[in-house]
Amino acid sequence: MSKFYIVATPIGNMGDITLRAIETLKSVDLILCEDTRETHKILEKYDINTSTISYHAQSKLAKVDKIFQLLEEGKNLALVSDAGTPGISDPGAMLVSKIKEKFFNLVVGVPSGTPTTKLREVQVIPIPGPSAVIAALSASGLPTHEFTFLGFLPHKKGRETLFKEIAGAKRTMVFYESPHRILKTLESLVKFCPNKKVCVARELTKIYEEFKTGLPNEILDFLIKNPDKQRGEFTVIIS
């Protein structure tokens, strides 16, 4: 049985990797990376000599076919993203879906008695660890018993509709935002949900990690007055 591991890696602080993740990355035959250059920083730090290949949002079908072939040959593979848990707002989700479809659902919808191709069984195994959305929620001080994760917001189409949905939400809403759009996003929050409490988490686990909580206009004013605080990756939480 081939094994396909989903391995979480640090989102900033290189110490945030589990012993199990290190052991897994050392033991597999090949590591699939969003960006091999980023992954090699982790591999070098922990003396992991496993070979790597790239797999990202622009990967062609031929790359997926190659991965299928490796699994068919009995190889054990690990999937990592540049940071955090693969598959969460990440192109790895599509690959996992394709593997599940090919190796797990061989006879779904096929009439009884129809010959099917026998493929090697593949076990998909999560190796849990860092995730920006969970880290941000845990330290936000906002309600976490129920939340909806929106990933990255659309740049244009459907954006206003989504902010209206956030305004009417009865549970905590969470999404990722880039430094290039954080001010525009806060302007939209001021417009659509001015009285909701917002927590903005920046540069999680890194040296300049920071949490700022308040009304949307208060957070917006703070960032406008402190341009250096507009840098880095953001996780935005709205109660």
> Is a pLDDT exceeding 70 seen at residue 25?
yes
Q: For the chain, which domains are there?
A: 2-130 (3.40.1010.10), 133-238 (3.30.950.10)
Amino acid residing at 179? P
Distance separating alpha carbons of residues 153 and 141, to the nearest angstrom: 23
Distance of CA 50 to the CA centre of its chain: 23
Helix (H) or strand (E) holding 138: helix 132-140
Under a CB-based contact definition with an 8 Å cutoff, are residues 183 and 224 in contact?
yes
Cα gap 8→78, rounded to integer Å: 10
Amino acid 155: pLDDT: 84
Those residues with Cβ within 8 angstroms of residue 198's Cβ, 6 or more apart along the chain or in another chain: 186, 189, 213, 214, 215, 216, 219, 236, 237, 238, 239
Residue 37 CB: number of other CB atoms within 10 A? 10
Which pLDDT belongs to residue 8?
97
Q: How confident is the model at residue 124 (pLDDT cuts 50, 70, 90)?
A: very high
pLDDT at residue 239 tops 70: yes
Residue entry with tokens 């290190």: 22
What is the overall mean pLDDT for the chain?
A: 91
Sheet holding 234-238, edge to edge: 147-152, 172-177, 234-238, 198-202, 210-214
Other beta carbons within 10 Å of 156: 6
- For the whole model, what pTM was predicted? 0.87
Q: Which two tokens stand for residue 101?
A: 């479809």
Q: If you average pLDDT over residues 21-40, what whole number do you get?
A: 96
Residues 185 and 163: their CA atoms lie apart, in Å, by: 9
